[in-house]
Amino acid sequence: MKVLVDMNLCQSHGECAVVAPEVFELGDDDVLRWEEDVGEELREKVEEAVERCPMMAIRIED
Amino acid sequence: MTPRPIVIVGASLAGMRAAKAMRAAGEEGPIVVVGDEAHLPYTRPPLSKGLLEGSETPESTDLGGADLDVEWRLGERVDQVDSIGHEVVLADGERVPYRRLLVATGSRPRHWPGPGADLEGLVTLRTLDDALALRERFDQGPRVAAIGAGFIGCEVAATARALGLDVTVIDIADRPMTAFGPDIGAWVASLHRSHGVDLRLGTGVSAVEGDGRVEAIVLDDGSRVETDVAVVALGAVPETGLLEGSGLALGPGLRCDATLTSVSDPDVLAAGDVASWPHPLADGDQLRVEHWANAVEGGRVAGRNMLLEPEKRRPHDALPSMWSDQYGLRIQVAGLPSGSDSSHVLEVEPDGDRRVVACSRSGRVSAAIAVAAPRRLGWYRQHVERGSSLHEVRAALEEQDEAIGPPAQAVSA
């Protein structure tokens, strides 16, 4: 699956990095970095990251 | 015979997330969501910030409820819960049967309890309609006063200042944002003052005065604050009116066990502001958390648990997290600052706003509060989750080349 983040919406809350650290990370500049191509085994975690994002900035594309 | 539906009372974030979790877990039966507002679920944090300022619209706060396969009964109020008969009673007397019930009614703002409560211009802020009405008032260029310097009072003040309005904030406490402890409180006070807010601390309000509409707020020390709009920001109370007489244990909110199941009835669960449950970080004390992330997490946990028999239900034990945005700076919290016995400034940016404060409870770091430092907060969050002592955190901090500003020992109290 593909993980998309709208960086116009992202405000670096970092909640996604808490629930899915395998995929999301805040850099030392506090800007979000993430893996775009992610294996199915992480789907549940990424779905949780989608839910936990206060800015509703994360999307999954199958 | 059609099966009894699962009923969710409260069409906001927690109820929405619960419904979503049930569908994701494969529930195919009917789900009915009753909400007393006319709107589909929306996210509330922008109401005191972007929406009030005008940079966001009602559409941008929509949580996507229209795409969810549930029956929305909006603009309807549940007045009573008959837990014996497994029915909720609507305001018009209609009885809706349920198989299992989720109470996700949230909380309502405390109103000004003293003289002048009926004056035009004395408002609270909770709903989308409240926010749109307040924005219209702000368009008239009024003087604004907030009674209460917590989340809502401080955020409304910051937004009003961004719009160029004259702002006064009043609180009986000697600092704003008391839940975050003295260090963050002092910093928030100086932040508001540097942005031109007239901050009146350590004094209560004795009356709100005006001839039909708000003209002035009279403080306990006798002084008067002339204003056109007074935002009552005195916190919120859990919305449990519908549960009076239901036989379900209350206090605080709907009293639940660790799995968000009512302690009185395994077929009734709760999530969001209205639920209280024993949280491990609070040493098992009943906790009620009025924040966005708790509605998301609690909604998800309760939604899944609704479909399970009681012995298979999982606890709601995620680390609480919350934030406040003021003047473009974000204060973020991981853990539980309330109930801590001391707070310690562990990192601070010289001549800047960025900082991290750790709160300690019975020797353990129970919360970290970071200003404009989300990555640093992530480092502290791990320590809170692990139950590290303050000493352990200080020691680990010595090895941290990412720490903000001077070393911990130099700045901590």
Domain holding B188, by residue range, is 122-234
Interchain pair A15, B293: CB under 8 A = yes
3 state SS of B412: coil
Query: B13 with B43: CB under 8 angstroms?
Result: yes
Q: Is the pLDDT of residue B407 over 70?
A: no
**B116 domain residue, yes or no:** no
> Strand order of the sheet with strand B254-255?
B254-255, B275-278, B286-287
Domain boundary, last residue among B312, B339, B372 = B312
Cβ-Cβ contacts under 8 Å, A15 against chain B:
293, 321
The CATH code of the domain that includes B56 is 3.50.50.60
Q: Which of B61, B68, B95, B98 shows the shortest CA–CA distance to B80?
A: B95
- What are B76-95's pLDDT values in tens digits? 999 999 999 999 999 999 99
Residue B285 lies in a domain: yes
> DSSP labels for B144-181?
EEEE--SHHHHHHHHHHHHTT--EEEEESSSSS-GGGH
CATH of the domain at A52: 3.30.70.20
Whether the pLDDT of residue A13 is over 60: the answer is: yes
B337/B374 same-domain check: yes
Is the pLDDT at B413 greater than 60? The verdict is no
Per the prediction, chain B carries an average pLDDT of: 95
Residue tagged 């960025």 (tokens): B354
Q: Which domain holds residue A24?
A: 2-61
Q: Which residues of A touch B373 (CB under 8 A)?
A: 30
Tens digits of residue pLDDT in B102-126: 999 999 999 999 999 999 999 999 9
Q: Of A32, A7, A47, give the one whose Cα is nearest residue B375.
A: A32
- Pairing assessment for the beta strands B205-209 and B216-219 based on DSSP bridges: antiparallel
Which ipTM value was assigned to this complex?
Answer: 0.95
Q: With an 8 Å Cβ cutoff, are B292 and A30 in contact?
A: no
- B145 and B199 inside one domain: yes
**2-61 in chain A: CB under 8 A from chain B:** 11-15, 17-18, 26-28, 30, 47-48, 51-52, 54, 56
- The count of structural domains within chain A is 1
Chain B CB contacts of A51 under 8 Å are: 17, 20, 296, 300
Of all helices (H) and strands (E), which one includes residue B386? helix B374-386
Domain count, chain B: 3
Please say which residue of B312, B344, B372 terminates a domain. B312
Task: Show the tokens assigned to B284.
Answer: 């098992």
Q: Are residues B218 and B131 in the same domain?
A: yes
Closest Cβ opposite residue B293 in set A17, A27, A52:
A52
Backbone φ and ψ for B53, nearest 5 degrees, come out as -75, -30
Asked if residue B317 is part of any domain, the answer here is no
Clarify whether residues B223 and B260 are in a common domain. Answer: no
In a domain, B323, yes or no: no
